[in-house]
Copies of this chain bind each other. A is one copy, B any other.
Amino acid sequence: MTSQVIAPIFAVAYEEGMTLRTNEAGQTRSMSMSTKQNVMQRYIDAWNETDAGRRRAILAEVYTEDCTYTDPLAAVSGRDGIDQLIAGVQKQFPGLVFSLAGKVDTHHDQARFTWHAGALGHEPAVIGFDVAVLEGDRIRSVYGFLDKVPG
């Protein structure tokens, strides 16, 4: 059942007195689900990009200037902060490959998805879950959680 079918059935619950944040809703309506899926793939690509110049280019494409990234072990802000975080992880775990796991679930200006990280061809050593909040077509904030970490 698609969300197009679900929405009318369930939306009646929300009719009364709803104050839509029209600007934000307007922005996100112009961004297709596949575009948001692409942004999340590029977000993952940044974690795999070991060339500093290319990584910074991806980060500029993916994140707003005032972006924040928070997971259980790191809280950084700005593209530079995220860049240094990724560089640190890559230095500590060479060969770690990140990938999207399953579907990216998106609506309005937000997306949720699970990701895997591990050596290529092996079970993921790390499984994480993120909610990304977008502003226009860039990520403003990542709220990350961990579901599996190396024991």
Report which A residues bind B (CB closer than 8 A): 1, 3, 6-7, 9-21, 24-25, 68, 70-78, 80-81, 84-85, 87-89, 91-93, 105, 107-110, 112, 126, 129, 131, 133, 141, 143, 145-146, 149-151
Contacts and interface: CB of A to CB of B under 8 A. Distances in A.
B143 A73 contact: no
B19 A80 contact: yes
Nearest to A132: B143
B131 A88 contact: no
A85 to B, nearest CB: 6
A145 B112 contact: yes
B13 A93 contact: yes
A143 B85 CA distance: 25
Contacts of A3: 72
Nearest to A14: B74
A103 B84 CA distance: 32
B145 A21 contact: no
A145 B88 contact: no
Contact of A10 (B21, B112, B141, B150): B150
Contacts of A112: 129, 131, 143, 145
